[in-house]
Amino acid sequence: GQQVMQIPQYQHVQEGEDFTTYCNSSTTLSNIQWYKQRPGGHPVFLIQLVKSGEVKKQKRLTFQFGEAKKNSSLHITATQTTDVGTYFCAAITTSGTYKYIFGTGTRLKVLA
């Protein structure tokens, strides 16, 4: 089936450093969502991107959707310890089934 790959799988950063995770699909996506899962918790919705080339910002977080709608990125500026967790992208396929395909996730650790 369709796969959505995320890189890197893990990232350790010093507090204050920037962080980026990338999400790549082999097929064109209808839209893409990003979720954050704190350790021991459940995923929580962050944002949805729909348009080709779309860029959205939430405070220190910047989300981009690629021009070809096959990739996306999440960038965090000046990480804080509260950013710790696993970040997942979730892709909506264009196949007509409208099921969500979750990426493999990027686990972020922030060292104080």
Partner 1 sequence: DGGITQSPKYLFRKEGQNVTLSCEQNLNHDAMYWYRQDPGQGLRLIYYSQIVNDFQKGDIAEGYSVSREKKESFPLTVTSAQKNPTAFYLCASSWGGKTGNTIYFGEGSWLTVV
Residues that bind partner 1 (CB under 8 A): 1, 6, 30-31, 33, 35, 41-45, 48, 50, 88, 90, 92, 97-105, 107
Burial call 53-86: b when 16+ CB within 10 Å, e when fewer = ebebeeeebebbbbeebbbbbbebeebeeebebb
Min separation Cβ 76 and partner 1, Å: 19
Min separation Cβ 97 and partner 1, Å: 7
Min separation Cβ 14 and partner 1, Å: 22
